């Protein structure tokens, strides 16, 4: 018996097979291209998604040495927000417009105006529109490609296009649907009022299910292409962030997960729908029924450290002299940072190298070192960068606490989570235990668990996580009260800098 999780990322699709004990049987990853036909545009060809998915499924079955008939159910995850348009015959009308496409700022403003103001819009769909979301992309197509718009019959998210290709069915689920800015997030259904205000036909949208619910079955045609058995159930699945949270076991209030990848994501389950407030924290439906999640997104987390390594540190004699054997430059940077006092002796780094999303929602925000003196060394720079990233993540944690969230444990994932130095820093800055778990397969693992729930292997998603996910490492905050005081002082300096420098950022962008 096997469960198949498919995670359709921005650069590649991953297929993962697990057994009932949550053990990985095999995984396979297939890359595909991304296109930027104009500055700030980001598109992909859905045909590349399907080609990659077929190859990944075939490869993972071969690696595991099993037949498609041994796969009991399929779960789908993927990049969120992307606009995939089909005509009434199911043909793709144009390349998909992705989550990181920046062409729709004017349409975001239009949505607020049509809704009668930001408060009313948030009452309808929970979150302020951003250029990431799907609804502004639909408006952009209407205004700029009317000949395409006139032929639309179906609007799908990326992973749901794979569902359509696997089954012929048009369906989605509440987590990914939240990011379209067309869902009544409180009631977990399409917002007829928002659709009316935007003049988007309700019949274009797929059926919306909960994440564990079976939504379709593998068709005869897809079975011939992939090697899966016809009739294999396909559950709702979820977008990449809630799916990854399930994969980490972040399915109860009080457990927060922080992903230290190129971007940084702070994700927290909540078991009540929060009151609408003017906050940068986003509220989405979670992959657990009657549960939501708070999310804060930092655009350049690990990306800031990579920039520092490549542009500032790489080739520096101090760094080169310490890199030997299998030691990675990142490890050396982190270790050198640990040798510098908290606060980097007055040096602060703003990690806004690609603008920022949480808490500032400012595409013009910029990175900066502030407080440089002749005393500062390469190690001080490294310390300031890592502290700046951590402080940026704390911004989201503090916003969530202000909304009433108790942070009992932070589960860390991504490349940065492998560093003991960074985990200790996060524990001291967040004032919460930082834990690692035995699951490292991300969204594909999460939706494989959801597939198991959908066919009754586990009663619900929490039982599935309890059965297969366990904490393997725990880092607690320092017992020394001066450590907390020093970090709080450094964080206060960090918080002062964005408002002070914002006018300069605007002038620099101009």
Per-residue model confidence (pLDDT) at position 328: 60
Per-residue model confidence (pLDDT) at position 293: 95
Mean pLDDT within 167-192: 98
Q: Do 29 and 109 fall into the same domain? A: yes
Write down which residue in 232, 247, 262 finishes a domain: 247
Bridge partners, residue 125, by sequence: none
Per-residue model confidence (pLDDT) at position 428: 98
Beta strands in 383-444 (DSSP E): 409-413, 433-437
Residue 329 in this model has a pLDDT that exceeds 80? no
| 117 C-beta neighbours (distance < 10 Å), count | 10
Asked, for residue 427, whether it belongs to a domain, the answer is no
Per-residue model confidence (pLDDT) at position 2: 98
Asked, for residue 121, whether it belongs to a domain, the answer is yes
Asked, for residue 105, whether it belongs to a domain, the answer is yes
Per-residue model confidence (pLDDT) at position 261: 86
- Minimal CA–CA distance to 213: which of 4, 464, 453? 453
Model confidence at 320, pLDDT cuts 50, 70, 90, reads low
Q: Please, what is the Cα angle at 1 between 164 and 8, to 5 degrees?
A: 35
Mean pLDDT within 191-209: 98
Q: Among 165-179, 325-339, 420-434, where is mean pLDDT lowest?
A: 325-339
Q: Do 331 and 228 fall into the same domain? A: no
The CATH number linked to 346 is 3.30.420.40
Asked, for residue 446, whether it belongs to a domain, the answer is no
Mean pLDDT within 54-63: 98
Per-residue model confidence (pLDDT) at position 315: 61
- Minimal CA–CA distance to 239: which of 265, 276, 202? 265
Per-residue model confidence (pLDDT) at position 210: 98
Write down which residue in 223, 247, 271 finishes a domain: 247
pLDDT tens-digit map of 65-74: 999 999 999 9
Q: Do 173 and 308 fall into the same domain? A: no
Model confidence at 310, pLDDT cuts 50, 70, 90, reads confident
Q: Which domain holds residue 120?
A: 2-247
Residue 403 in this model has a pLDDT that exceeds 80? yes
Mean pLDDT within 232-257: 95
Q: Do 230 and 345 fall into the same domain? A: no
Asked, for residue 399, whether it belongs to a domain, the answer is yes
Model confidence at 319, pLDDT cuts 50, 70, 90, reads low
Domain count, the chain: 2
SS3 115: helix
Asked, for residue 386, whether it belongs to a domain, the answer is yes
Q: Which residues contact 19 (CB under 8 A, 6 or more apart)?
A: 1, 2, 3, 25
Per-residue model confidence (pLDDT) at position 326: 47
361 or 248: which leads in pLDDT: 248
Residues labelled as active-site residues = 240
Residue-averaged pLDDT of the chain: 94
DSSP 295-364: EEEESSSHHHHHHIIIIIITT-HHHHHH--TT--HHHHHHHHHHTS-TTGGG-EEE--BTBB-SSS-BTT
């Amino acid at each position: 018996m096997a469960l198949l999780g498919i995670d359709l990322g921005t650069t590649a699709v991953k297929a993962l097979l697990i057994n009932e004990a949550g053990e990985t049987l095999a995984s396979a990853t297939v890359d595909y291209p991304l296109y930027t036909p104009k500055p700030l545009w980001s598109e992909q060809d859905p045909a590349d998604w399907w080609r990659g998915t077929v190859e990944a499924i075939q490869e993972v079955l071969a690696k595991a040495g099993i037949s498609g008939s041994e796969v009991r159910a399929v779960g789908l995850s993927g990049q969120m927000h992307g606009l995939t348009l089909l005509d009434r015959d199911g043909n793709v009308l144009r390349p998909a417009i992705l989550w990181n496409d920046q062409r729709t700022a004017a349409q975001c403003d239009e949505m607020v105006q049509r809704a009668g103001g930001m408060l009313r819009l948030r009452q309808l769909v929970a979150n302020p529109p951003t250029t990431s979301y799907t609804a502004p992309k639909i408006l952009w197509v209407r205004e700029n490609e009317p000949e395409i718009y006139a032929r639309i019959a179906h609007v799908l998210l990326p992973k749901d296009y794979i569902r359509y290709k696997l089954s012929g069915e048009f369906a989605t689920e509440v987590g990914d649907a939240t990011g379209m800015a067309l869902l009544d997030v409180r009631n977990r259904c399409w917002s007829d009022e928002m659709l009316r205000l935007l003049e988007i036909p309700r019949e274009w949208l797929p059926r919306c299910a909960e994440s564990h619910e079976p939504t379709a079955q593998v068709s005869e045609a897809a079975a011939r292409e992939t090697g899966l058995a016809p009739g294999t159930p396909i559950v709702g699945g979820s977008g990449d962030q809630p799916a990854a949270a399930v994969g980490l076991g972040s399915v109860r209030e009080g457990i927060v997960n922080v992903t230290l990848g190129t971007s940084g994501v702070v994700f927290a389950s909540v078991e009540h729908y929060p009151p609408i407030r003017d906050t940068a924290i986003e509220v989405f439906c979670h992959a657990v029924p009657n549960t939501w999640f708070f999310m804060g997104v930092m655009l350049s987390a690990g990306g800031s450290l990579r920039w520092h390594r490549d542009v500032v540190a790489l080739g520096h004699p101090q760094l080169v002299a310490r890199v030997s054997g299998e030691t990675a430059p990142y490890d050396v940077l982190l270790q050198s940072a640990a040798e510098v006092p908290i606060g980097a002796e007055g040096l602060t780094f703003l990690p806004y190298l690609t603008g920022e999303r949480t808490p500032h929602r400012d595409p013009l925000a910029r990175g900066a070192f502030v407080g440089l003196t002749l005393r500062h060394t390469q190690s001080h720079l490294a310390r300031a960068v890592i502290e700046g990233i951590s402080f940026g993540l704390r911004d989201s944690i503090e916003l969530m606490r202000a909304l009433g969230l108790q942070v009992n444990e932070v589960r860390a994932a991504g490349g940065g989570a492998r560093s003991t130095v960074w985990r200790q820093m996060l524990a001291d800055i967040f004032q919460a235990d930082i834990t690692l778990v035995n699951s490292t397969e991300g969204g594909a693992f999460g939706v494989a668990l959801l597939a198991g729930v959908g066919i009754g292997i586990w009663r619900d998603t929490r039982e599935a996580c309890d059965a297969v996910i366990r904490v393997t490492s725990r880092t607690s905050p320092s017992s020394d009260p001066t450590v907390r005081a020093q970090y709080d002082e450094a964080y206060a300096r960090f918080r002062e800098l964005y408002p002070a420098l914002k006018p300069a950022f605007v002038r620099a962008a101009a």
